[in-house]
A and B are shown apart, each in its own frame.
Chain A
Amino acid sequence: MEKFETIISNVVPLPAENIDTDQIIPARFLKATTKEGFGQNLFADWRYHEDGSVVTDFVLNGDRYSGKILLAGKNFGCGSSREHAAWALYDHGFRVVISSYFADIFRSNALNNGLLPVRVSEAFLKQMFRWVEAFPSAKVKVDLHEQTLELLDLGVKKSFEIPPFKKACLLNGQDDMHFLLNLKEEVIEYEKTSKYMQLIN
Chain B
Amino acid sequence: MSRTLFDKIWDAHVIRTIEDGPSVLYIDKHLVHEVTSPQAFAGLEKRGIGVARVKNIMATVDHNVPTINQHLPIKDLISRKQVETMETNCKKFGIELYGLGHLYQGIVHVIAPELGITLPGMTLVCGDSHTSTHGAFGTISFGIGTSEVEQVLATQCLLQEKPKQIKIEINGKTSNGVSAKDVILYVISELGTGGATGAFVEFCGSTIRQMSMEERMTVCNMSIEMGARGGLIAPDEITFAYCRNKPFAPKGKKWHAALEYWKTLFTDADATFDKNFSFNAEAVAPMITYGTNPGMGININERIPNHNETSFERSLEYMNFSKGDKLKGKKVNWVFIGSCTNSRIEDLRIVADFVKGKKKAEWVNALIVPGSRGVLMQAQAEGIDQILLEAGFVLREPGCSACLAMNDDKIPAGDYCVSTSNRNFEGRQGPGARTLLASPLMAAAAAVYGEITDVREFLN
Contact partner of A201 among B18, B55, B82, B161, CB < 8 A? B55
Please name the residue on chain B nearest to A180 by beta carbon: B155
Residue contact A186 to B39, C-beta cutoff 8 Å? no
Shortest B232–chain A CB gap in Å is 16
Does B426 sit at the interface, judged by CB under 8 A? yes
B-contacting 9-mer, from A14-22, A132-140, A143-151, A152-160: A14-22
Q: A33-B38, A50-B431, A75-B193 are in contact. Are A163 and B413 (CB under 8 A)?
A: no
One of B16, B129, B314 near A105 (C-beta < 8 A): B129
A113 contacts B405, CB within 8 Å? Answer: no
Contacts of B154 in A (CB 8 A): 177, 180-181
Give the contacting residue for A101; candidates B64, B197, B405; CB below 8 A: B197
**Cβ contact of B145, chosen from A16, A83, A183, A200, cutoff 8 A:** A83
Residues of B within 8 A of A113 (CB): 147
Contacts A45-B426, A86-B145, A108-B148: A103 and B197 contacting too (C-beta < 8 A)? yes
When distances are taken between beta carbons in the complex, the residues of chain A under 8 Å from B248 are 200
Q: Verify if B100 is at the interface (C-beta below 8 Å from A).
A: no
Q: Chain B nearest CB: distance from A129 CB in Å?
A: 12
Give the A-B pair count, Cβ closer than 8 A. Answer: 192
Report the minimal beta-carbon distance from B240 to chain A, rounded to whole angstroms.
13
- Distance from B3 Cβ to chain A, minimum over Cβ atoms (Å): 15
B133 within 8 A of A: no
Contact in complex: B145, A81 (CB < 8 Å): yes
Task: Check B49 for interface membership: any CB of A closer than 8 A.
Answer: yes
Point out the residues of chain B lying under 8 angstroms from A104, CB to CB: 197-198, 227, 229
Instruction: Check B147 against A175 for contact (C-beta < 8 Å).
Output: yes
Contact pick for B250, options A45, A105, A199, CB 8 Å: A199
Cβ of B18 and Cβ of A165 under 8 Å apart? yes
Interface assignment of B386: CB less than 8 Å from any CB of chain A = no
A45 with B427: CB separation less than 8 A: yes
The 8 Å CB contact of B78, one of A31, A74, A195, A199, is A31
Tell me whether A109 is interfacial, beta carbon within 8 Å.
yes
Which residues of chain B from 19 to 51 have a CB within 8 Å of any chain A CB? 20-22, 24, 26, 28, 35-36, 38-39, 42, 47, 49
Selected contact of B128 from candidates A22, A81, A165, CB within 8 Å: A81
B121 lies within 8 A of A79 (CB): no
In Å, the complex CA distance between A28 and B404 comes to 8
Per-position 1/0 for A176-196, Cβ under 8 A of B: 110111011011001100111
B39 touches A163 (CB 8 A): no
Q: Which residues of B sit under 8 angstroms from A80, Cβ to Cβ? A: 128-129, 404, 423
Rounded to whole angstroms, the CA-CA distance of A83 and B81 in the bound complex is 19
Task: Check: A53 CB closer than 8 A to any chain B CB.
Answer: no
**Nearest CB in chain B: distance from A180 CB, A:** 4
Pick 12 A–B contacts, CB within 8 A, sort by A.
A16-B311, A16-B314, A22-B427, A31-B81, A73-B311, A74-B194, A78-B193, A81-B144, A83-B147, A103-B227, A183-B24, A186-B15
Instruction: Please list the residues of chain A having a beta carbon within 8 angstroms of any beta carbon in chain B.
Output: 15-18, 20, 22-23, 26-28, 30-35, 45, 50, 73-75, 78-84, 86, 101, 103-105, 108-109, 112-113, 163-165, 175-177, 179-181, 183-184, 186-187, 190-191, 194-196, 198-201
Residues of B within 8 A of A (CB): 12, 15-16, 18, 20-22, 24, 26, 28, 35-36, 38-39, 42, 47, 49, 52, 55, 63-64, 76, 78-79, 81-82, 85, 119, 121-122, 127-129, 143-148, 150-151, 154-159, 161, 193-194, 197-198, 227, 229, 248, 250, 254, 257-258, 261, 293, 309-311, 314, 404-406, 413, 423, 425-428, 431-432
